[in-house]
Structure 1
Amino acid sequence: MIGLEWNMKLFNLDKLAVYFVSEFKTLIFIMRIEFLYKVAFAFSMFLSSFVANAQNVIVADTVDADDLFSEKPVQIPLDECEYIDTCEQRRYAIVTKDGKKGIYDLERHENVTAIDLDFICYSRSLQLDDSLCLYYFYAEDGLQSGIIGVAGTNNSTLGFWNDNPRLVGNLAHCTTVDSIVSDTCRSLLLDCMLRLNGNYGQIAVIDAQTGHLKAWVALGRSNDGFEDAKLLKLSCTASIFRPVFAASLLADVGVSLDDSIDTGNGIYDAGDGLEIRDPGWHDGGYGVLTFGQALAFRSDIAVYSAVLAARGTDAPEIWKEIVNGKKETNAMEFASIVNSFYCKDKILYPSLEGDSLCVEPFSNMTVQALDNVKKVLDGFSLVASKANETFDKSVDVGIAGLYGAYVSTDDKSSELSFAGCFPSDNPRYAVGLFIGQLPGQIVDPCLLSDTIEHLVNWLSK
């Protein structure tokens, strides 16, 4: 397919030659086409073997004429680069400047590509004939990954790019997705994004019995409202799982979830300028609660107390890591993790290939730790009833889960999230949902309760 696509592309380029008035230019153009045929042939040979050895790494994309005949990149002297990594073939090097990377020819003393890529590594070379040797590099740029081929004769480059499978989900080969469930999720997510001034959001539904993916939808803000967006695998924080982490730590140090903790007025001075605040600090805090209740209400004071009890003097540094706001997960993983913690003895992730699953063990988690986590998830009803007095009455099934909220330290971004499964006595579905909000919004995850209520009722019919 790659060779055929390139043949069609080069055929179209060949037709462009009739527009050249000068016979000399026409001859040069045709010679260039012959050169590109060689390059394309070499690419087709390389990519087929590359994909066989590294599945899901690269899919050939189209390349237009402007890409093929582009000007040389801006030249940056080697002594201005911060780091130089000479490739094994010794001719080319990966150079770094201002955190970005590019390819540099050490023999010709010139930049082969602009220094604007996130990652590059040398792969291999291919001697096509006596006059042409091609050098291949794997590269990543934003959400895309690809192969860059460099012709050793003149440093011409060709690139094949597509969404980076490490960063972007693709449901094209997932056979378990239900279109009706997906359409309903899209409608509910759109309503939620409109209501809460969202910027980017995801919703996912997992079959709790099998672990198979039933729906995974993403929407993003556009000039005209909202539109389907890429399924970013690293699109939200994992802050929703703080109570789960704390519950497992308490089990490790022998503290019961029935033991009491005084969260005071919702503000705790941990020393050295570190201040912990509960979500309810504006209302005077939660006061004295059991650990189970405090974690169900997302008390950060309770979470920090658990970290302090289990990790001692390392607690402040661990806490900073917990609240760093790094985007490292997504709605599909929300649903998979909660479902696995609640009713499985291992973590199951949909692989997005057919109906297969990725299986991971619960590493270093005791039976008591897993039992604590399940009890915290069962405490969701406490939060739901406080968030909406009619919630328990309007939903006929029990829900086990978590609400989550995150606000960046500069208050320029926030997110609301939910992860849960139902019915809690024998789950059929698990749901993950998060909304990334525009600045200046109310950050209360209980605002998601209306969306969760509608989805739970619809799936339970």
Structure 2
Amino acid sequence: MMKNKLITLIVLFILVSCQPIAEHISSIDSTLQANATSILEDKLSELNAQSGQVIVMEVQTGQIKALVGLGRKDSADYQSSENFHVQQPTGLVQPISLLVALEAGKVRLNDTVNVGNGIYICKGDTVRDHNWHRGGYGEITLEQGIACSSNIVVAKTMEEAFTNNPKSYFDLLVKMDYGKPDSIVGISNLRPYAVTGNSLMWCSIGYDQLITPIQVLAFYNAIANNGKMVQPQLYQDSVVVINSQIAGKASIDSLKQALLFNVTDGLGKPAFSDKVTVAGRQGTIVISANEDDTEYAVEFCGYFPVDNPKYSIIVSINKTGLPASGGLMAGDVFRQIVNNIMSYIE
């Protein structure tokens, strides 16, 4: 009897050992991946841009439903590119800086800032709003400043809120896990977010830092997820929480209000969808300045539906020369992808 039991156990062990190890199941939606690729490629061709990314993520799970990277070198055609680890400055940090000030109890959305004629000189540095040559915005609220992409609103607000203790601004960013994650299974060479300068003003509007679009998306996804930051993942694994609450409910709700206002009444209008209510923010930033050509990143990051967010999306395009508009260019791609998703959800 004992011998028979032993033989049975050995056979079971062999059978179990011979079973293939369960593979991760991809989270990518092949239809959405193909459609997002087509939409992005059309826009890159239209703009004669160097490269671009589109990432679509489920808000609550962090599962990535589309991961598109395109670029070109010598050819006129765009090729698939594993550029998701490439870090650069981002124009999408301004609402995050506002969240830091809100969380520190330094400001409210209806506070006003005088941006004057769109040119602000601080300690020898000059900050300009995009409409400085048209006379600037004058006195506007913080909510309006986010909606009109005012560098000066953010720079002046951060200066007033944190000038006596700039370290507290950076400490709060760390506490909120800005720049996380620094490792994602399936994406190679992803590095930690890096601060390249010590200027509070320049960091708060997107310069003096290096970050990837997927790390920016993780933060905006946390805003959509009522403050819970989850790990972006390419496989249908269990949900991994990076930070259970990046900021208080009141601060998150205020920023959500500003991101919705941006799409309904601000420069984010090109992202507006007639199929579903969306919220988000556009960004335009210089990533390299050369004598002949200046390279810009034009971006849009947002989520939908606003009342119960299911998806968050980031669009990031690198192009040389003007015009360069995060709203008109990346926001339009965002809108097309949202409408595409809604067309087969309905």
Shorter chain as denominator, the TM-score bin is 0.7 to 0.9
Q: Which amino acid aligns with 1:426?
A: N
Tell me whether 1:334 sits opposite 2:185 in the alignment.
no
Asked if 2 retains the 8 angstrom alpha-carbon contact of 1:244 and 1:376, the reply is: no
Q: For 2:104 and 2:94, locate their aligned partners in 1 and report how far apart those are by CA, in whole Å.
A: 16
**1:287 and 2:169 correspond:** no
Amino acid of the structure 2 residue aligned with 1:242: Q
The aligned residue for residue 132 of structure 1 is: none
Classify 1:378/1:368 alpha carbon distance in 2 versus 1 (closer, same or farther; 3 Å). Answer: same
Q: Given that residues 227 and 245 in structure 2 are in contact (C-alpha distance below 8 angstroms), is that contact kept between their aligned partners in structure 1?
A: no
Report the more deviating stretch, 307-316 or 190-199. Answer: 307-316
Cα gap change, 1:333 to 1:268, in 2 (>3 Å)? same
The answer to whether the 8 A contact 2:315-2:333 is kept is: no
> In structure 2, how many angstroms separate the alpha carbons of the residues matched to 1:385 and 1:416?
13
- Paired AA for residue 446 in structure 1: G
Partner of 1:446: 327
Q: Distance in 2 between matches of 1:182 and 1:235?
A: 23
1:249–1:369: 8 Å Cα contact kept in structure 2? Answer: no
- Secondary structure at the residue paired with 2:237? coil
Cα RMSD over matched residues?
A: 2.5
- Residue 417 (structure 1) shift: 0.4
Assess, with a 3 A threshold, how the Cα gap between structure 1 residues 227 and 399 changes in structure 2: closer, same or farther: same
CA offsets, 1:1-37, max 9 Å, x none?
xxxxxxxxxxxxxxxxxxxxxxxxxxxxxxxxxxxxx
Distance 2:314 2:286 in 1: 19
CA contact 1:406–1:414 (8 Å) conserved in 2: yes
Match of 2:28, SS? Answer: coil
Deviation per CA, 1:335-387: give whole Å up to 9, x if none: 33212112233211223354244422167733333233222222222455775
Match of 1:192 among 11, 36, 43: 43
| Structure-2 residue corresponding to 1:42 | none
**Which residue of the other structure, out of 6, 10, 31, is the alignment partner of 1:180?**
31
Inter-CA distance 318–304: structure 2 relative to 1 (3 Å threshold): same
Q: Taking structure 1 as reference, are residues 319 and 296 closer, same or farther at Cα in structure 2, changes over 3 Å only?
A: same
Q: Secondary structure, in 3 states, of the residue corresponding to 1:460?
A: helix
Partner of 1:351: 233
Q: Go from structure 1 to structure 2 and tell me whether the alpha carbon gap of 1:183 and 1:413 turns closer, same or farther (over 3 Å shift).
A: same
For residues 444 and 223 of structure 1, what CA distance do their matches in structure 2 show? 25
TM alignment of 1:186-265, pairs within 5 A: 186-224=37-75, 225-265=77-117
Write the mapping of 1:56-455 to structure 2, written as runs, cut at 5 A: 173=24, 175-224=26-75, 225-270=77-122, 272-313=123-164, 317-322=199-204, 323-324=206-207, 326-330=209-213, 332-361=214-243, 365-382=247-264, 387-388=269-270, 392=272, 395-408=274-287, 410-411=289-290, 412-438=294-320, 440-448=321-329, 449-455=331-337
1:43-84 CA-to-partner distances (Å, cap 9, x unmatched) read xxxxxxxxxxxxxxxxxxxxxxxxxxxxxxxxxxxxxxxxxx
Residues 174 and 319 of structure 1: CA distance in aligned 2, closer, same or farther (over 3 Å): farther
CA distance in 2, matches of 1:227, 1:299: 35
* Percent of aligned positions that are identical: 27
Paired amino acid for 1:241: V
Larger relative contact order, structure 1 or 2 (CA cutoff 8 Å, min sep 6): 2
State the aligned residue count.
284
Question: Which whole-Å deviations, capped at 9, do the CAs of 1:236-276 have from their partners, x for residues lacking one?
Answer: 43331222212331442342111222211111121x31111
- Structure 2 distance, partners of 1:363, 1:305, is 27
Return the TM-score normalized by structure 2: 0.74
Checking the alignment, whether the CA contact within 8 Å between 2:28 and 2:66 is kept in structure 1 is yes
Conserved in 2, the CA contact under 8 Å of 1:296 and 1:382? no
1:334–1:431 contact (8 Å) kept in structure 2: no
**Cα distance change, pair 457–361 in 1 and its aligned pair in 2 (3 A):** same
Larger radius of gyration: 1
Tell me if the contact between 1:399 and 1:421 (Cα under 8 Å) persists in the aligned partners.
yes
C-alpha distance in 2, partners of 1:325/1:442?
23
CA displacement at 1:213 relative to structure 2: 1.0
Equivalent residue, structure 2, for 1:90: none
Aligned to 1:77: none
- Segments of structure 2 that go 5 or more residues without pairing to the other structure are 1-22, 167-197
Report what 1:72 is aligned to. none
Q: Is the 8 A contact 2:282 2:327 kept in 1?
A: yes
In the alignment, is the contact (CA less than 8 A) between 2:269 and 2:327 conserved in 1?
yes
Q: Which amino acid aligns with 2:282?
A: Y
User: Partner of 2:50: helix, strand, or coil?
Assistant: strand
Q: Which amino acid aligns with 2:281?
A: L
CA distance in 1, matches of 2:86, 2:70: 15
- The code of the aligned residue for 2:297 comes to E
Q: CA deviation at 1:174?
A: 5.6
Deviation at 1:403, TM superposition (A): 0.4
